[in-house]
Amino acid sequence: MSEPRENFSSRIGFILAAAGSAVGIGNLVGFPVNAAKNGGGAFLIMYAIFVFLICLPVMIAEMAVGRKTAKEPVGAYKTLSGNSSLWGAAGLLGVLTPFMIAVFYMVITVWILGYLVLTITGNLEYLASDGFGEFINSPYLFLAMAVVAAVVNFILVAGVKDGIEKAAKILMPSLFVMLIIMVIFVLSLDNAFAGVKFFIIPDISKITPSVVNGALSQAFFSLSLGMGILITYGSYINRQTNIPSSAKLVAITDTGVAFVAGLMILPAVFSFNPNIVPSELSDSSVSLIFTFLPKIFLALQSSIGYFGASAIAALFFLLVFFAAITSLVSIIEVPVSYLVTEKKHTRKKALSILLMTAGILTIFATVSFGMVAFFTEFTTYAGGTKSFFDVVYDIFYDTILPLNGFLLCVFVSYRWKKNKLSEELALGNDGYIGSWVEKYINFSLGTFIPAIVLIIFINTVAQKFFAVSLFGF
């Protein structure tokens, strides 16, 4: 039996939910480190340009497709293409991608919860002394997984208004407050401003083609594009909502949080070790969050005591946990919406199907860090052994995401057609037709944006799976 389709109750509810999706682990940790390593202010400017000139049109197009059809990716592509099975397949990819990304994001969220619990229970010292290797193989992770699944289920089963929107309205403001508290605290530490300097002072010489590629991929992921999320969330807004201005606010919030997170992470790193050179920082957010940051927090005990250091660490992990939960909720809503809209299941049923299937895959991904050899040494390509977790990450996050972005641009520009997009975007936005915003969106979506994401896609495939670099980055 299907239920009547719900909507977000207000524009601000929609914006907070979309921003909740966009603000995630990528913003809080990935972005600051990337920026500091790769040119500071020069990276920041380039990133901002990518967000507003390349990603924002894609975000607007996703929301428009969702609202027009009031469907998730499969239904949306089918409806607007007159039931073409080819575009239906593109829609299926748009539902499969979030499903699989949810698997690896879930693993990380479970770890974050584990770290939160361990810091609260007085185990910061253990985490700081390279406890991570042991931690990722702990059987308690399955307990944490059950808790995360229960939280996600609790939010999603309540629906769009009483679940997703309400959670975003509580979690997002709390996140902002926690972030500000952390920044104020961290900036008061010795040597904090050395970190700010590395974050902000531009160094153009660091901007290489691979940095440009990395910045664009980061912006794309950070805004939750190519995952069907904004199509699905867009399907829950009414015709009075001004899509371009809402999308702009989401992008500003996401970028703002990423920037402010830089004022938290880098000063902390520099106060811990004033002589560090940013290029020494690890590339992966995972090792930064789970091995490096606990050491920094523990070092605080010399000034604020073990209890104080644990409290700051707990505040940080709670902040990241909130950010991760709102992202996880958004990504799981896509397949939920698919099962509800296309397969006519109730939300409850859809959620149990998904928690079972994604749950099993999440277990496989969790045990692929040593617990089970089969999943740890799952396969080999490009000369390396890859775990199940790596495979999910490489295929869906790194590779398919830009492909989905490409398909969306082509779909909107050449199948649905630009004048239809303009008509949709003019709802709730008088004066849109004929504006330079309209001209820019229509032109960019049909030309250079798909070209750029296609190049990223081809280059990633060549690099990831065949170990060759086609374009020199």
Gap between the Cα atoms of 274 and 300, Å rounded: 14
In whole angstroms, give the CA distance from residue 260 to residue 266. 10
State how far the alpha carbon of 363 is from the alpha carbons of 139, 377, 469, in Å: 11, 15, 33
Residue 75, interface with ligand PHE (CB under 6 A)?
A: no
C-alpha distances in Å from residue 43, one per residue of 57, 264, 422: 21, 17, 32
x/- map, 427-456, ligand PHE, by CB under 6 A? ------------------------------
Residues numbered 106-165 forming contacts with ligand PHE, rule: CB under 6 A = none
Q: Which is nearer to ligand PHE, 318 or 331 (CB)?
A: 331
- The verdict on 321 binding ligand PHE (CB under 6 A) reads no
Q: Which one of 20, 24, 244, 278 is in contact with ligand PHE (CB under 6 A)?
A: 24
Cα separation of 170 and 67, whole Å? 25
Q: Which is nearer to ligand PHE, 55 or 425 (CB)?
A: 55
Using alpha carbons, select from 155, 143, 163, 227 the residue that is nearest to residue 8: 163
| Segment lying near ligand PHE (by CB under 6 A), choices 35-43, 47-55, 126-134, 324-332 | 324-332
Nearest 5°: CA angle at 398, between 394 and 323? 105
Q: How many CB atoms lie within 10 A of CB 1?
A: 6
- 396 or 457, CB closer to ligand PHE? 396
Find out whether 27 and 257 touch, Cβ atoms under 8 Å: yes
Query: Which helix (H) or strand (E) covers residue 400, if one does?
Result: none
- Calpha distance 200→364 (Å, rounded): 41
The string of DSSP letters for 313-382 reads HHHHHHHHHHHHHHHHHHHHHHHHHHHHHTT---HHHHHHHHHHHHHHHHHHHHGGGTT-HHHHT-EEET
Per-residue binding string, ligand PHE, 325-344, x by CB under 6 A, is --x--xx-------------
Taking CB under 6 A as the criterion, the residue among 21, 271, 404, 413 binding ligand PHE is 21
We find the least distance from the C-beta atom of residue 458 to ligand PHE, in angstroms, to be 23
**Least Å distance between CB 288 and ligand PHE?**
14
Stretch that binds ligand PHE, among 23-31, 142-150, 294-302, 382-390 (CB under 6 A): 23-31
27 is an interface residue for ligand PHE by CB under 6 A: yes
State the minimum distance, in angstroms, from the CB of residue 323 to ligand PHE: 7
Burial of 12 (0-12, 13-18, 19+ CB in 10 A): middle
Binding status of residue 97 toward ligand PHE by CB under 6 A: no
Window 193 to 222, contacts with ligand PHE (CB under 6 A) = 221-222
User: What's the min distance (Å) between Cβ of 34 and ligand PHE?
Assistant: 12
Residue the block writes with tokens 């398909």: 407
Q: How far apart are CA 134 and CA 467, in angstroms?
A: 31
- Nearer Cβ to ligand PHE (101/189): 101
Candidate list 13, 26, 244, 450; residue touching ligand PHE; CB under 6 A: 26
Question: Which listed range, 120-128, 323-331, 360-368, 435-443, lies at the site for ligand PHE (CB under 6 A)?
Answer: 323-331
Binders of ligand PHE: how many residues, by CB under 6 A? 14
Task: Indicate the residue among 167 and 309 with the shorter CB distance to ligand PHE.
Answer: 167
- Residue 22 interacts with ligand PHE (CB under 6 A)? yes
Residue-by-residue DSSP string for 82-125: TS-HHHHHHHHHHHHHHHHHHHHHHHHHHHHHHHHHHHHTT-HH
Residue 105 binding ligand PHE, by CB under 6 A? yes
Rounded CA gap, 78 and 62, in Å? 14
Q: Is 101 in the site for ligand PHE (CB under 6 A)?
A: yes
Say if CB 330 and CB 254 are below 8 A apart.
no
| Binding positions for ligand PHE, rule: CB under 6 A | 21-22, 24-27, 101, 105, 221-222, 224, 327, 330-331
